[in-house]
């Protein structure tokens, strides 16, 4: 019995090693482009619903956190179904690794938002810039399992995050301070994944 369990452990270990050296193809370009559209739509909503974000911080956070949750849910569902098709027997392992790489950034972003808005509301204008910086770190940590040019998307988010913080004050809460980075950024990610999938002959 022990031998059989050891054999199963060895097979799992081989699968883990293979997963570690495999490019993750669970992110669908169309879905990621859709999350870019969500960012643009949320900016449109903000111009109407949150006209003075410095004074309506609760509304501002509700809008953007809801957009993030919607995007994450859509990406997660599609990642699950797409990985089943693209990675078959390795899909669970691949999804686990993809989540492990990105989850710390999501957790850090969430905690930072809570701390900044609850403990130091005067510094809440930094939230959009810091979200972008943290998102870039999530992308950088996922780079190893994604096509190489995805590094450019990480650099984009880092740059826009720093510019957003550089804007300072109420201007960093403008709808465009989120729409441009996340709208263009997600289209950039989608484009990179689309062309690399075409190159490797995968479904797009």
Partner 1 sequence: MKSKTPTNEGRFAYEGLDRVIHERARLSVLTSLITHPKGLTFNELKQLCSLTDGNLSRHLSVLEKDAMVEILKGHDRNRPQTVCRITAAGRKRYLEYLETLEQVVRDAAKGAEEAAALVRHLNPSRA
Specify the residue, 18 or 40, whose C-beta has the smaller distance to partner 1.
Answer: 18
Contact segment (CB under 8 A) with partner 1 among 4-12, 98-106, 130-138, 142-150 equals: 4-12
Alpha-carbon gap, residue 82 to 147, rounded angstroms:
17
CB neighbours of 106 closer than 8 A, spacing ≥ 6? Answer: 72, 138
State yes or no: residue 122 binds partner 1 (CB under 8 A): no
Tell me the per-residue interface mask from 82 to 121 with partner 1, x by CB under 8 A, - otherwise.
------xxx-------------------------------
Interaction between residue 199 and partner 1 (CB under 8 A) = no
Q: Least CB distance from residue 90 to partner 1, whole Å?
A: 7
- Angle value at C-alpha 42, between 40 and 43, nearest 5 degrees: 65
- In the numeric block, the tokens 């081989």 are attached to 14
In the DSSP assignment, the letter for residue 126 is G
Of 22, 78, 141, 174, the one binding partner 1 (CB under 8 A) is: 22
Burial zone of 74 (CB within 10 Å; 0-12 exposed, 13-18 middle, 19+ buried): middle
Please give the Cα distance from 26 to 45 (Å, whole number).
30
For partner 1, what does the binding mask look like between residues 145 and 184, x meaning CB under 8 A?
A: ----------------------------------------
Residues 6+ apart with CB under 8 A from 147: 23, 192, 193, 196
Least separation in angstroms between residue 4's CB and partner 1 is: 4
User: Least Å distance between CB 18 and partner 1?
Assistant: 5
The one segment of 16-24, 125-133, 139-147, 188-196 that binds partner 1 by CB under 8 A: 16-24
Binding of residue 8 to partner 1 (CB under 8 A): yes
Q: Where are the alpha helices (DSSP H) in 88-144?
A: 91-118, 127-142
Binding interface with partner 1 (CB under 8 A): 1, 4-5, 7-8, 11, 14-15, 17-18, 21-22, 88-90
């Amino acid at each position: 019995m022990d031998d059989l369990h050891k054999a199963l452990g060895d097979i799992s270990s081989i699968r883990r090693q293979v997963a570690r050296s495999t490019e993750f193809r669970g992110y669908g370009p169309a879905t990621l482009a859709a999350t870019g559209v969500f960012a643009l739509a949320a900016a449109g909503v903000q111009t109407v619903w949150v006209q003075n974000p410095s004074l309506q911080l609760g509304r501002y956070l509700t809008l953007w956190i809801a957009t993030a949750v919607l995007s994450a849910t859509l990406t997660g569902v599609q990642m699950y179904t797409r990985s089943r098709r693209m990675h078959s027997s390795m899909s669970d392992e691949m999804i686990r690794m993809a989540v492990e790489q990105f989850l710390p950034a999501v957790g850090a972003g969430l905690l930072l938002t809570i701390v900044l808005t609850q403990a130091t509301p005067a510094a809440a204008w930094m939230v959009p810039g810091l979200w972008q910086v943290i998102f870039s770190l999530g992308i950088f940590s996922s780079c190893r399992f994604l096509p190489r040019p995805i590094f450019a998307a990480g650099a984009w988010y880092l740059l826009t995050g720093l510019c957003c913080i550089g804007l300072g004050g109420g201007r960093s809460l403008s709808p465009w301070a989120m729409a441009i980075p996340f709208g263009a950024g997600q289209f950039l990610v989608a484009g990179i994944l689309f062309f690399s999938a075409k190159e490797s002959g995968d479904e797009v």
